[in-house]
Amino acid sequence: MSNEVVYNRIPMLRAERGISRKDLAAALGVHYQTVGYLERGEYSPSLFLALKIAEYFEVPVEVIFSLHPFARLGS
Amino acid sequence: MSNEVVYNRIPMLRAERGISRKDLAAALGVHYQTVGYLERGEYSPSLFLALKIAEYFEVPVEVIFSLHPFARLGS
DNA sequence: CGAGCTTGTAGTAGATGTACTACATTCCAT
DNA sequence: ATGGAATGTAGTACATCTACTACAAGCTCG
């Protein structure tokens, strides 16, 4: 049932903060490869991890994750 | 890593709407026992399912799910 | 050039989430 | 009192998530 797509903006938020995957992973308490998998969309995080990510970036979950594609910012 | 607790208010929201687990499950496209497991806290949903639930109840994810216990309403 | 940081890819292993079936219990309505 | 709806429990099976190790490639800084 979680074979469905969940879009995410982790790369954008991480770029805004200027931190590496490794640092983000450390802050979240997960393996740095896990962040890579999430950013590349190979799978979506557990709810627990999603809530941790939202807490870390201090934004609502919906700002980072969505069932529908995010609008592109550029061109 | 999702061996951690995620608190949820599904029973309360479902009671407010006055719908059964079976109907909620059907609306979400999951097995009715899955809703039971979630309500009893036996495990927390995938992010995909959490987003569907929030969409169904028309509230932000944080209203239903939290890393920290919800305040009790009564006494 | 050489070292180190960042990211991508690959693979194994274990934990968690979901589907499904079956049966027991409680409660309400007829 | 009988049946049906709603819920709880148990158990199996499969899919997904996460950890971890290892290696390749690009980049920057000395």
Domain ranges of chain B: 7-60
For residue A49, the chain B residues in CB contact (below 8 A) are 1-2, 47
Residues A24-46 pLDDT 10s: 999 999 999 999 999 999 999 99
User: What is the CATH architecture of B7-60?
Assistant: Orthogonal Bundle (1.10)
User: With bands split at pLDDT 50, 70 and 90, how would you rate the model's confidence at B3?
Assistant: low
Return the DSSP state at A1.
-
Give SS3 for B8: strand
CA neighbor of B39 nearest in space, from B25, B26, B29, B60: B25
* Predicted model pTM: 0.90
Cα B9 to its chain centre, rounded Å, is 6
Predicted confidence at residue A1, as pLDDT, reads 57
User: With bands split at pLDDT 50, 70 and 90, how would you rate the model's confidence at B2?
Assistant: very low
Predicted confidence at residue A4, as pLDDT, reads 81
Residues B6-28 pLDDT 10s: 999 999 999 999 999 999 999 99
Q: Which CATH number fits domain A7-61: 3.40.50.300, 1.10.260.40, 1.10.3720.10, 3.40.50.1820?
A: 1.10.260.40
Q: Copy the structure tokens of residue B64.
A: 């239903």
- Does B32 reach chain A within 8 Å, measured CB to CB? no
Give the protein-side footprint of strand C (Cβ within 7 Å): A 1-2, 20-23, 32-33, 36, 39-40, 46-48; B 2-3, 29-31, 33-34, 37-38, 43-46, 48-49
ipTM over 0.90: no
